[in-house]
Amino acid sequence: MCGIFAYCSFLQEKDRKTICEILCNGLARQEYRGYDSAGIGIDGDNRGEMFFFKEVGKVAGLRKKIAESNVNTSKSFLSQVSIAHTRWATHGPPSVVNCHPLKSDPKAEFTVVHNGIVTNSSALRLVLQKRGYKFESDTDTEAVAILTKYIYDSQPDKRMSFTELVKTVLKELEGSFAFVFKSSHYPNEIVTARRGSPLLIGVKTEKKLKVDFVDVEMAGPDETMDALASPKAGGLLAPPTGPGGPPNLMRSQSRAFMSEDGMPQPIEFFVASDASAIIEHTKRVLYLEDDDIAHISEGELHIHRLRHKDGAPPTASHRTIETLEIELAEIMKGKFDHFMQKEIYEQPESVVNTMRGRVNFDRNQITLGGLRAYLPIIRRGRRIVFCACGTSYHSCIATRAIFEELTEIPVSVELASDFLDRKTPIFRDDVCVFVSQSGETADTILALRYCLERGALCVGVVNVVGSTISRETHCGVHINAGPEIGVASTKAYTSQYIALLMMALQLSEDRISFAERRTMIIEGLHALPSQIRNVLEGDKSLQEFATGVLANQRSLLLMGRGYQYATCLEGALKIKEISYMHSEGILAGELKHGPLALIDENMPVIIVMTQDSLYPKVQSAFAQITARKAQPIVICNENDADIPKGVKTIRVPKTVDCLQGILNIIPLQLLSYHLAVKNGFDVDFPRNLAKSVTTE
- Here the CATH number for the domain that contains residue 426 is 3.40.50.10490
**220: confidence class by pLDDT, cuts 50, 70, 90:** low
Same domain, 42 and 139: yes
Residue 423's pLDDT is what? 93
Cα–Cα distance measured from residue 661 to residue 562, given in angstroms and rounded to the nearest whole number: 10
Beta-carbon count within 10 A of 243 CB: 4
State the pLDDT at residue 219.
62
516 in a structural domain: no
Contact 563, 657 (CB under 8 A): yes
Are 497 and 646 found together in one domain?
Answer: no
Whether omega for the bond prior to residue 529 falls within 30 degrees of 0, making it cis, is no
Interval 138-142 mean pLDDT: 90
Residue 213: pLDDT over 80: no
Distance CA 573, CA 193 (A): 34
Give φ, ψ of 282 to 5 degrees.
-160, 155
Q: Does the pLDDT value for residue 237 go beyond 50?
A: no
For range 311-318, the mean pLDDT:
58
pLDDT over 90 (residue 229): no
Percent of the chain with pLDDT over 70: 88
Q: Examine the pLDDT at 486 and tell me if it is beyond 70.
A: no
Residue 145 contacts residue 107 (beta carbons within 8 Å):
no
Whether residues 498 and 390 fall in one domain: yes
Answering whether pTM is above 0.85, one says no
pLDDT at 222: 47
Beta bridge partners of 432: 385, 458
Domain span holding position 432:
334-510
For the cut 80, the answer to whether the pLDDT of residue 308 exceeds it is: no
- Asked whether residue 239 is domain-assigned, the answer is no
Do 323 and 376 fall into the same domain?
no
Check whether residue 91 and residue 134 sit in a common domain.
Answer: yes
- Please say whether the beta carbons of 483 and 276 come within 8 A: yes
* Residues 579 and 467 placed together within one structural domain of the fold: no
Q: How confident is the model at residue 259 (pLDDT cuts 50, 70, 90)?
A: low
Cβ atoms < 10 Å from Cβ of 399: 27
- Quote the pLDDT of residue 216: 79
Mean pLDDT computed over 646-672: 95
Residues 506 and 548 in one domain: no
Q: What is the pLDDT of residue 313?
A: 43
Using alpha carbons, select from 201, 221, 228 the residue that is nearest to residue 286.
201
- pLDDT of 441 > 60? The answer is yes
Residue 419: pLDDT above 80?
Answer: yes
Q: How far is CA 638 from CA 26, 538, 545, 613, 649, in A?
A: 45, 12, 18, 17, 10
Residue 489 has pLDDT above 80, yes or no: no
Q: Would the pLDDT of 330 be above 80?
A: no
Per-residue pLDDT at 169 exceeds 80: yes
Percent share of the chain, pLDDT over 90: 57
C-alpha distances out from residue 559 to 53, 310, 524, Å: 49, 51, 24
User: What secondary structure letter does DSSP report for 235?
Assistant: -
The yes-or-no verdict on residue 252 having pLDDT over 60 is no
The pLDDT, as a whole number, for residue 331 is: 61
Residues 475 and 555 reside in one and the same domain: no
CA within 13 Å, CB half, 418: 9
649 SS3 class: strand
Same domain? 185 vs 135: yes
Determine which of 19-23, 484-488, 627-631 has the lowest per-residue pLDDT on average.
484-488
Task: Single out the residue in 278, 300, 328 at which a domain terminates.
Answer: 328
Q: What is the residue-averaged pLDDT of the chain?
A: 86
Confidence band of 384 (pLDDT split at 50, 70, 90): very high
Q: Respond yes or no: is residue 568 known to be catalytic.
A: no
Q: Which of 270, 305, 328 is the last residue of a domain?
A: 328
Q: How confident is the model at residue 549 (pLDDT cuts 50, 70, 90)?
A: confident
Residue 225 inside a domain? The answer is no
Name the active-site residue from 2, 24, 389, 396: 2
Tell me which residue of 269, 247, 274, 272 sits closest to 256, measured CA to CA: 269
40 neighbors 93 (Cβ within 8 angstroms) = no
Angle between helices 347-355 and 490-507 (to 10 degrees): 30
Do 436 and 568 share a domain, yes or no?
no
CA dist 220 → 165, 250, 449 (Å): 16, 7, 26
Average pLDDT for residues 206-212, to the nearest whole number? 75
In a domain, 482, yes or no: yes
In angstroms, the CA 24 to CA 21 distance is 5
Residue 481 and residue 416 share a domain:
yes
Q: How far apart are CA 418 and CA 37, in angstroms?
A: 31
What CATH number does the domain containing 258 carry? 3.60.20.10
**What pLDDT is recorded for position 236?**
39
C-alpha distance from residue 114 to each of 199, 201, 343, 378 (Å):
11, 15, 29, 39
Total domains in the fold of the chain: 3
Helix (H) or strand (E) holding 494: helix 490-507
pLDDT reported for residue 584: 93
Q: Tell me which of 394 and 177 has the higher pLDDT.
A: 394
User: 3-state DSSP helix/strand/coil percent for the chain, to nearest 5?
Assistant: 35, 25, 40
Q: What is the pLDDT of residue 258?
A: 56
Q: Does some domain include residue 637?
A: yes
Q: Which residues contact 376 (CB under 8 A, 6 or more apart)?
A: none
Instruction: Check whether 371 has a pLDDT greater than 80.
Output: yes
**385 within some domain:** yes
Q: How many helices and strands (H and E) does the chain possess?
A: 19, 30
Residue 499 covered by a domain:
yes
Which pLDDT does position 25 carry in this prediction?
Answer: 92
* pLDDT above 90: residue 468: no
Residue 262 pLDDT > 70: no
Contact of 183 with 162, CB cutoff 8 Å: yes
328, 354, 384 — which closes off a domain? Answer: 328
Sequence-ordered list of residues with C-beta below 8 angstroms from that of 134, at least 6 positions apart, any chain: none
**Radius of gyration over every alpha carbon of the chain, rounded to an integer in angstroms:** 27
Based on the fold, state whether residues 50 and 197 are members of the same structural domain: yes
| Residue 228 in domain | no
Per-residue model confidence (pLDDT) at position 690: 55
With cut-offs at 50, 70 and 90, classify the pLDDT of residue 248.
Answer: very low
